Chains A and B, each alone.
Chain A
Amino acid sequence: MHIPDGYLSPAAAAVMYAASVPFWYRASQKIKMLIAGRTVPLIALFAALSFVIMMFNVPLPGGTTGHAVGAALAAIVLGPWAAVLAVSVALIIQAFFFGDGGILAIGANVFNMAIAMPFVAFYLYRWIGGNAAITSSRRVVAAAIAGFIAINVAALLTAFELGIQPLFFRDAAGQAMYFPYGLDVAIPAMMLGHLTIAGAVEAFVTGLVIAWMQKTNPELLEKFSGAAASATTTRVPRWAWGGLVALVVLTPIGLLAPGTAWGEWGRDELEQLGLGYIPVGFDQWSNFWISPLPNYDIPALDNPTVAYIISAVVGVALVLAIVFAVMWIAQRVMAREATPTP
């Protein structure tokens, strides 16, 4: 999901910096008020931790491995604002030192992985966790769902940022100057990998680590659990939902802009190609999956705009379907725990 330099136009990179700077500013203010000087080594250590966790290869069913971002974990334990700083610092070091993500693209990468991801994870965890006890399994499920949704929101944002490049940045001859694929390709390609593998890794890692901490260091989970202040703040704030809805609405709007050059391919051509295309951050596992595009290109409609609005909406719908499924299972598990076993 790390966008390298050269994928985004300078204007887009600048916009993403502008979007991230207020969050950085607010986070540093917030942190000062929260725990003064004590936070400096805390943030530094958690930034280092986030960096290191991104290097852990998690074994997945089927023999593959993937890695987590850890932003959800940081948000649950440190609160969203400290997580913003910690993950930002990890991303900056990755960009400068390991060439993972570009330097001009830091604004975009931070916005996706260090701002959107911790906030989504944090509020979902609080909302689903409700005022359950710190050691309840409901919190493990809440953490896993929060990790899953958060990484997918980050992936959707990344896909959106990449996908709008060919819309706005073309040379005189109509050639894409930066990332060459539109939203119709970027969104399904990114979401496919994240709704399956990457989302599973983030969910696994977040849930399992929270479960481990419940047994060993439950006090670390108390501070930002929301359990104490449950009466007032367990709900997802309205602006967070508003943002999510706005994101969904915005995604297809870009497609309606004039000058779209895609949708000209045929269904046969796509199938012939097999679409071996892997976007940024979408690692080697994508080879295991068949292209979603033939499904999104609905020949009967004969209308590319509608086809890719559908492709964008399907991604979001899938996320929601999985959330509700997992929540339903979680409730059953909790119900079973509540009834004393004979």
Chain B
Amino acid sequence: MSSAKTSRSFIEKTLADITGALEQTLFAEELARQDGLLQSLDPRAKLLGALAVLVAISASQNLVVIAALYALTLPLAYASRVPMGFYFKRVWVFMPFFTGIVALPALFNVFTPGAPLVTLIDLASPRVYLAITQPGVITAAFLLLRVGASVSIAVLLILTTRWAILLKALRVLRVPQAFVLILGMTYRYIYVLLHAVNNMFLARKSRVVGRVSSADDRRWLAASMGALFAKSYALSDDVYLAMQSRGFRGEAMVIDEIAWRARDGVWLVVFVAVALGAMIFGRG
């Protein structure tokens, strides 16, 4: 591969990744502001409910139960105005690239011996035998379904809850205040740094004509990372001074604007009941 092609592809790949990440978060934030069923719930109810269902998906040893838990997310997503095409695509189109490839070999007798379902190759001499086995299909289905259902729950939680509000909800899990504060600030700085990096890559792309060696590309990349490192360090000082001048003395004060209502309690009970039911029915 020519170095020119390499340099273009890595810059473009990074730019695309970064732009994608920015778009994705903006999309999530926008969706979280709409008024749908899940958006209207208290984030604490949603967080605890999601965790209960995640544990149930993880603990169930029955494919039907896991599939049922996944099916239950569909009306919830619909009632929360999550675009269904996006919801399916996000989970079932992108997942096979990772989990699908991992699950694929498990189908075959090589990794999962058992009764053959489909025999692909069966040669006597030399002895070559390849078949999709029944236990193989079950094993792969467990992995795919479990991951798919878990990802769906996480996607639903994120798409219907604004990050700042979700962070406040983490306090019910006894996550220390300082940690929540850092999480919140980090999320904000990710935007700042992603924009900075986007500009660095665009500037580089617009200035480079002709070929650049891979070694030069790596040096440039290292310099960019280093510059970002130094920038972060300097920025953290500025931020600290700004925080101090606004009255930060080591204790974060947060205006608590989330209010628990009766219907949140009802929903939490429903989520937990579904999770408990799934765990009881899904026992091996």
Q: Which residues of A contact B (CB under 8 A)?
A: 4-10, 13, 24, 28, 36-38, 40-49, 51-53, 55-63, 65, 73, 77, 85, 89-90, 92-93, 95-99, 102-104, 171-181, 185, 204-205, 208-209, 211-213, 216-217, 220, 261-262, 264-266, 268-270, 272-273, 275-280
* Residue B194 lies at the interface, judged by CB distance under 8 Å to chain A: yes
Q: Which of B1, B99, B105, B150 contacts A104 (CB 8 A)?
A: B150
8 Å CB contact of B54 from A7, A104, A205, A272: A104
In the complex, chain B residues whose CB is within 8 Å of the CB of A36:
250
B229 CB contact (under 8 Å) in A47, A73, A178: A73
Q: Which of B33-41, B81-89, B184-192 contacts A (4 or more CB under 8 A)?
A: B184-192
Please provide the chain B residues from 1 to 55 with a CB less than 8 Å away from any CB of chain A in the complex.
Answer: 1, 5-7, 9-10, 13-14, 17-18, 21, 24-25, 28, 50-51, 54-55
Q: Using Cβ atoms and an 8 Å threshold, which residues of chain A touch B92?
A: none
Return the chain B residue nearest A12 by Cβ: B58
Query: Which A residues lie within 8 Å of B155 (CB)?
Result: 99
Say if the beta carbon of B112 comes within 8 Å of chain A.
yes
Chain A residues contacting B166 (CB-CB under 8 Å) are 96
CA distance in complex: A276, B107 (Å): 12
Q: List 19 A-B contacts (CB under 8 A).
A: A5-B57, A5-B151, A40-B178, A45-B186, A48-B232, A52-B190, A52-B197, A58-B218, A85-B179, A89-B183, A95-B154, A97-B25, A103-B154, A213-B226, A265-B109, A273-B108, A276-B105, A277-B102, A277-B104
Interface of B is mostly: helix
- Contact: A99 with B13, CB < 8 Å? no
Q: Give the segment of B72-80, B121-129, B256-264, B266-274 that binds chain A.
A: B121-129
Query: A204-B218, A265-B111 given as contacts; is B176 within 8 A of A99 (CB)?
Result: no
Set of chain A residues within 8 Å of B109, measured between Cβ atoms: 265, 269
A44 to B61, CA, bound (A): 39
Query: Contacts A176-B139, A208-B219; is A220 near B158 (CB within 8 Å)?
Result: no
Contact A277 B105 (CB under 8 A): yes
A-B contact count (CB 8 A): 288
Q: Provide the residues of chain A in CB contact with B221, threshold 8 Å.
A: 56, 58-59, 205, 208
> Would you give the shortest CB distance from A312 to chain B, in whole angstroms?
18
Q: Is the CB of A212 within 8 A of B139?
A: no
Q: Which of B108, B111, B140, B182 contacts A89 (CB 8 A)?
A: B182
Chain B minimum-CB-distance residue to A278: B101
Complex Cα gap A204–B121 (Å): 44
With A89-B186, A277-B101 in contact, do A181 and B154 touch (Cβ < 8 Å)? no
A280 to B98, CA, bound (A): 7
* Distance in angstroms between the alpha carbons of A137 and B103 in the assembled complex: 45
